[in-house]
Structures are given as C-alpha cells and as structure tokens.
Chain A
Amino acid sequence: MGSTTVRTNASGWRGVDIIQLALGLLAVAAMTISMWAALYYAPAASNLAGDEQIAQRIFYIHMGCNIGALAGFLMSVIGSIVYLVKRDLDWDRVSQASIEVGLICGMGTILTGMFWAKPTWNTYWTWDPRLTTSAITVLVYLAYLLFRNGIEDRRTRARFGSIYAVVAFLSVPLTFYSARLFRSIHPVVYGAENVDAQGGFSVGATMTQALNINMIAFCVLFSALLVLRWRQLRNEDAIAELREELE
C-alpha cells in the first residue's frame, strides 16, 4: 500500500507549527472578544424582561456555534467528494476532522438553545423544525464516527465514510423541509417573518456588530480546531504506517 503520509526528518519548528500556534492564539483572543461582545457590548433587548432578558445574550454564542457546525458539515461533504474523486487520504482526514469539530459546535448549538428555550419557551425541548433538524444532524454525524471506527482497513474506512457523509449531508435539508410543515415557533431574527415565533427581538446596529464579531470569532475557533485535529489525524496515520513497517 502506497504511503501517502508525509514524513520529514526535520526537528524543531516548521512553518505549519507556527501557523497552527498563531491560529490557536488568535482563537483564544477571538473567543475573549466574542464573550465581551456578547455579554457587555451588545445592548439589552428592548422588548424582553427578567430571565428572558438575560437569556437572550446566549443568542450570540448560539449563532456562533451554529456557524461552526454549518462550516464543519459543509466542509465534510466537500472533503468526502474530493476524496472519492482524488483518493487522497488527506481529504478524508479533512472530512473526519471537520465532522468532529462540527459535532462539538452542533452540540453547543443545541445546549445553548436549550438553556435559552427554558426561560423563553418554558420548555427545554420542542419539535420545532430547527430543533428537529439539529438533533437529527448530530445523530447522523455521531453515527458517522461510530461507523468509521468499526472498519479496520484504512482505505475502506475512508471510502465508506465518504459515501456515508455524502448521503447524510443530502438528507439534512429534506429533514428540515419535512419538519417545517409542522408549525414552527422558532424566532427568525434575520430574514423572513415567522408570525408564530415566540421570544424573538428586533436587532439594532450594535447587536448586529456583536453578532458579526461572534460569527467571525467562532469561524477562527473552528479553523484552529480543524487544523489541529487534521494534523493530529495525519500523525496518527503516520504512526500506524511506521508501526506496520516495523512489524
């Protein structure tokens, strides 16, 4: 089997290490700024009071996590398709790393959403289309990780994982549309009005700034984690190959 993992004998700092360290430091700074923006910089919502007023600040982190999850799952289907076309294991690692990071973000979205929903909707969970879709999506990608781990051969694992990731990604929008036919109570802060929405608020200029800061910050965090995990997977494969050679 051809070795695809790059092996270098160089020790000490390399370019990738420096990029990764810079990304990591940038992510720490970005998360600090994002918390400041969400908790202090963003003004109070004018139409909410009490617990709801405090809970609405979770929205910024909620949206940030959501962007991370979206980026992860989009990245995974790109990685899978490119792997199936080019058969370069690096793209399979991109797919796996982005799904792992996307899953953490997706669970973050669900958790923050639940903490917000209890004071606002008076329930942690309801079968709203967005909630349904996010829960199903997390389950789909958890299944992806379980499935991968059960396959011994490295190439088969990459190929089967990619096939599943493509099918899984396609099912997500259909899940959303089918669930949306049931009445939705999720507020739509941007875009279309939802007449049945509960707990929404109108967004002012400062709020938009805070939201943009959070979205960018979570994108930085996402990239830092993705690069870190991708390199980790690369090293794992390199170790596995070396071990095989020794045996």
Chain B
Amino acid sequence: MNEEAVQANVQTMRLDLAAEPVTMQRGGGALTYLRKIGAVFVKDVRAEWRGREIFSTMTAFSVLAVLVFGMAFDLRVPRSEMIAPGVLWVVVLFAGVLGLNRSFGAEVDRGTLASLLLAPVDRSAIYFGKMLANLFFTLATTLVILVVMFFIFDLNMFHPYNLLAVLLGVIGYVGVGTLFAALTANSRARETMLPILLLPVMAPVFVAGVGLTAGVVDGKQFSDLRQWLVILAAFDAIFIVVAYLLFDLIWEDA
C-alpha cells in the first residue's frame, strides 16, 4: 500500500470519528448490528477452534454421563424409553453449565474481558454474540449426546419434534445461561455458583423438555405436544428480552 492511500485512509477515519463519535457503538442500522453480533460469535468460535477447551470438555463429559446413567439404570429399568427423556435433558443441562462457565470465565482467566468490553459495540451485541456461540457449542454437544444415546439406549430420538424441542430448550438455556455466566464470571466460586443459580431457574425448560421428549418417545400426536412447545417458546421469548434489557447493567462500572 502506498503512502498516499494510507494517508487517505487515516483521514477518512479521522473524519468519521469526528463527525459522529458514537456511530460505531450505536448507529448503523440492523445489518451493522448483526455484523457486530457475528464478529463476537466468530471470535468465540475461532478461540474455541484454536484452544479446543469448551466443546471437547462438554462432549467428553456428556459421553461419560450418558454411559454412567446407562450403567446405573441398566439393571433396574426394563425399557430404556422410561428414563431416556430424563437422561437426555439432565445431561444437556449439566454439560451446558461446563460450556457456559468457560464463556466468560475464559475471558477473565486470559485477562481479555476488559478488551472485549472495550470493543466499540453495544453491550447487547456482546451478549447476543456470546449467546450464539454458546448455542452453537451446546447444540453440537446435544447432537453428540443424541448419537451416543442412540447406541447406548438403542433409542432413536432424532424425531423432528424432539429436535425442535431441543433447539427451543437450548435457546432458552443459553439465553439465561449467558446472562448468569456474565454475572458469576468475577466471583470467587464461579464454577460452583453458576449451576446453583442457573438450574432452579431452568425448571420450566427442564420440565417442558422432558415432557415433550417423553411424548415423542411414546409416539404422541402433535396436538398433545403443542403445549410443551408453547411453554418453551414463551420461556425463550421472555428471558431473551429480559436478559437483553439487564445485560447492560452488569459492567456499568467497568
């Protein structure tokens, strides 16, 4: 690049900043906002691709947990359909906590949280970007869980309604989970605090998810399953809006 072009670049940058100092943070319309969310998401996925600490831990834990449940119930439960829905959701929730803990925990440990917060984007873009990354990791883990359960429990749970339930349930889970992960990121007992905060609040997702998966396994019609999907969708909508509103308040003194 020649000298003049650099000079021109610097000048336009300066002009941009001078004209509207907050454009980078707030303005730019919906598409720019989505691009900012995408940037945070890509950053998290890239960090994961290089470090391989979230997805590998989550899958290793889930496979182990499914095997442990399989062994524990093997002699007492006549048919795997009776416990499979519960096992699926318990493993998803517990494995999810591992990933959510790293979501902001890794930033604190590496000392990169401050630089992330300094990024010239709205804090809610950080929330949605992190949420999408967590969604991506947790859904990938759930896919592995479903495959492992297919073999261990000899049960096909790749039913469209069940996949929809998993999608909706995990969206709600990471929606609240990302908010709580940010809340607990700086506390001393981060690893133990997050599940204590998160799991009781997740009761609706857990109950509705188990109900829906059990219904699918029992071969029920869509009309019987619809109410569960409504609860999951309502949970997602309410809590993502609430988390969006509250997320700005977390680092207001940082």
A residues at B contact (CB < 8 Å): 84, 132, 136, 139-140, 143, 146-147, 150-151, 155-156, 159-160, 163-164, 166-168, 170-171, 174-175, 177-179, 181-182
Q: Is the CB of A150 within 8 A of B201?
A: no
Q: Is the CB of A181 within 8 A of B242?
A: no
Q: Is the CB of B183 within 8 A of A140?
A: no
Q: A147-B196, A175-B207, A182-B211 are in contact. List 8 more A-B contacts (CB 8 A).
A: A132-B207, A136-B200, A146-B193, A147-B183, A171-B239, A177-B204, A178-B203, A178-B228
- B56 CB–A CB distance under 8 Å: no
B residues at A contact (CB < 8 Å): 176, 179-180, 183-184, 187-189, 193, 196-197, 200-204, 207-208, 211, 227-228, 231, 234-235, 238-239, 242-243, 246, 249-250, 252-253
Across-interface contacts of B176 in A (CB, < 8 A) = 167
Quick one: given A143-B196, A160-B183, A174-B231, are A168 and B201 in contact (CB under 8 Å)? Answer: yes
Q: In the complex, A168 Cα to B249 Cα: how many Å?
A: 16
Q: Is the CB of A174 within 8 A of B187?
A: no
Quick one: given A150-B193, A178-B231, A181-B211, are A132 and B239 in contact (CB under 8 Å)? Answer: no
Q: Is the CB of B207 within 8 A of A179?
A: yes
Q: Is the CB of A150 within 8 A of B250?
A: no
User: Can you name 27 A-B pairs with beta carbons within 8 Å?
Assistant: A84-B249, A132-B203, A136-B200, A136-B203, A139-B200, A140-B201, A143-B196, A143-B197, A146-B193, A146-B196, A147-B184, A147-B187, A150-B189, A155-B253, A156-B253, A163-B246, A163-B249, A164-B183, A166-B246, A167-B201, A171-B239, A177-B204, A177-B231, A178-B207, A178-B208, A181-B208, A181-B228
Quote the shortest CB–CB distance from B188 to chain A (angstroms). 6
Q: In the complex, A99 Cα to B176 Cα: how many Å?
A: 21
Across-interface contacts of B238 in A (CB, < 8 A) = 170, 174
Q: In the complex, A174 Cα to B211 Cα: how many Å?
A: 14
Q: Which of B187, B242, B246 contacts A150 (CB 8 A)?
A: B187
